Amino acid sequence: MAETQEGRIVHQRSPLNAEPPLQELVAHPLTPEELVYARNHGPIEHLDAATFKLKVDGLVEREAEYTLEEIQNAFPKAEVVAALQCAGNRRGAMQDKKDKPVEGVLWGQGTIANVRWGGVRLRDLLRTAGVRMPQGQGAMYACFASHVTACEQDDWFGASIPLEKALSEDGDALLAYEMNGKPLKPEHGFPFRVVIPGYSGARWVKWVDQVTVSHRESDNFYQQRDYKVLPPEVQTREQAEHFWSKVPPILANPLNSVVASADAFGGHLTVKGYAVSGPAGQVARVCVSVDDGASWQPAQITYQEGRWSWTLWEATVRLPGGEAACHGTVYSRAEDMSGHVQPKDTDWNLRGVVYHGYGEMRF
Ligand SMILES: Nc1nc2c(c(=O)[nH]1)N[C@H]1C(S)=C(S)[C@@H](COP(=O)(O)O)O[C@H]1N2
Ligand SMILES: [Mo]
């Protein structure tokens, strides 16, 4: 049994990488702070909000710097419920399913948290700075950086997203300073962290001290040489060296679902789990199958809040073998508002990221 710390399963102590037990996680629509996973590439920072400043620069008319108090005074607070999920969520499931090792922290299915984030809209922050959009120069990005500490693979941590996502009214991107109505804790980025609803956790930079508008993506290691889905033929780190620059960074989360519990009793199975929306819209339906995918039965959606939250669901289904059938496998499958269906399986990749095959549990 893995080491636990305050109820979370610790995969790595330093830097801290821990996730909550799956059944406990899905017992709460909004994830209580003590159950929010911790994913760190460097030490957790304890910063002084009185002096720590966020800088806005790059292709803007007016560079600016703000402390937490200055941000709170200058801009209205916005709130968004959004699921934060690591690209490595379900890494262990990919390794098991493919029976082939992957590289990285061997996460289970609990590196996801559904949180009410509060902060300033990135859109408000950038519009106040006045984004300059020179004609005909191609793609633009919002780059985020935290220079306060070195990480495992770089001297700082950074990420970038298309500028359009940062500016769009319905993109709901925030510079957050609150989590579930309370000030952010150091572990989750106090005083500021980026919240990019629908995007992979790696882009939600914690302890962020710089937002830069640029024609170039962030050149940070974690944007350029990690958090990418390498093609399955890449089998080693050495081979990967030739591929990083050819593969796009992971941005949006894929449509996904996970089975968190399955209890058989009296010829019936009660199944519970969560689903995650993909780039084409919120989850519209989750179905379960106890006959290896021959037939699917709709689950009841028990929680969903807005475009970016996770979806909790449960179903009680009859087992085909009746009373005698107390062992088997149950699958879950999500569908989104645009009619996309979660795939049965996805390719193996070296870093074991973005696994989104059917949810699965033996019972
Ligand atoms: N500065 C900094 N920001 C970071 C990271 C990091 O290591 N350093 N990890 C990223 C990754 S990979 C994820 S999944 C999320 C995890 O956020 P959490 O620890 O609050 O759950 O933060 C992101 N932001
Ligand atoms: Mo992550």
HEC string of 310-361?
CEEEEEEEECCCHHHCCCCEEEEEEEECCCCECCCCCCCCCCCCCCCCCEEE
Is the residue at 251 inside a domain? no
Q: What's the Cα-to-Cα distance from 216 to each of 143, 144, 159, 314, 333, rounded to whole Å?
A: 8, 12, 11, 44, 37
Do 142 and 283 lie in a common domain?
no
Do 275 and 145 lie in a common domain?
no
Residue 105: predicted pLDDT:
96
C-alpha of residue 149 to centroid of ligand 1, in Å:
13
C-alpha of residue 93 to centroid of ligand 2, in Å:
16
Question: Which ligand has its closest atom nearest to the C-alpha of 113?
Answer: 1
Number of domains the chain contains: 2
- Ligand 1 neighbours, Cβ below 6 Å, are 36-42, 84, 86, 146, 151, 157, 188, 201-202, 204-207
pLDDT tens-digit readout, 202-248: 999 999 999 999 999 999 999 999 999 999 999 999 999 999 999 99
C-alpha of residue 40 to centroid of ligand 2, in Å:
8
| CA gap 50, 355 in Å, rounded | 41
pLDDT tens-digit readout, 254-271: 999 999 999 999 999 999
Residue 360: predicted pLDDT:
98
Q: What's the Cα-to-Cα distance from 167 to each of 49, 128, 138, rounded to whole Å?
A: 26, 12, 16
Q: Whose CA is nearest to atom 23 of ligand 1?
A: 202
Residue 2: predicted pLDDT:
64
pLDDT mean across residues, the chain:
96
Q: What is the pTM (predicted TM-score) of this model?
A: 0.97
- Among 133-137, 157-161, 196-200, 316-320, the minimum mean pLDDT is found in 133-137
Do 338 and 273 lie in a common domain?
yes
pLDDT tens-digit readout, 28-69: 999 999 999 999 999 999 999 999 999 999 999 999 999 999
C-alpha of residue 201 to centroid of ligand 2, in Å:
5
Q: Whose CA is nearest to atom 18 of ligand 1?
A: 38
Residue 1 has pLDDT above 70, yes or no: no
Do 231 and 282 lie in a common domain?
no
Q: What is the CATH number of the domain that holds 218?
A: 3.90.420.10
Residue 138: predicted pLDDT:
87
Q: Residue 80's closest CA among 306, 253, 283?
A: 306
Ligand 1 atom with the smallest distance to the CA of 38 is: 19
Q: Whose CA is nearest to atom 24 of ligand 1?
A: 205
Do 242 and 304 lie in a common domain?
no
Q: What is the CATH number of the domain that holds 290?
A: 2.60.40.650
Residue 23: predicted pLDDT:
97
Do 269 and 137 lie in a common domain?
no
Domain boundaries, position 201: 3-246
| CA gap 187, 176 in Å, rounded | 14
Do 152 and 262 lie in a common domain?
no
Domain-terminating residue out of 246, 272, 289: 246
Do 86 and 231 lie in a common domain?
yes
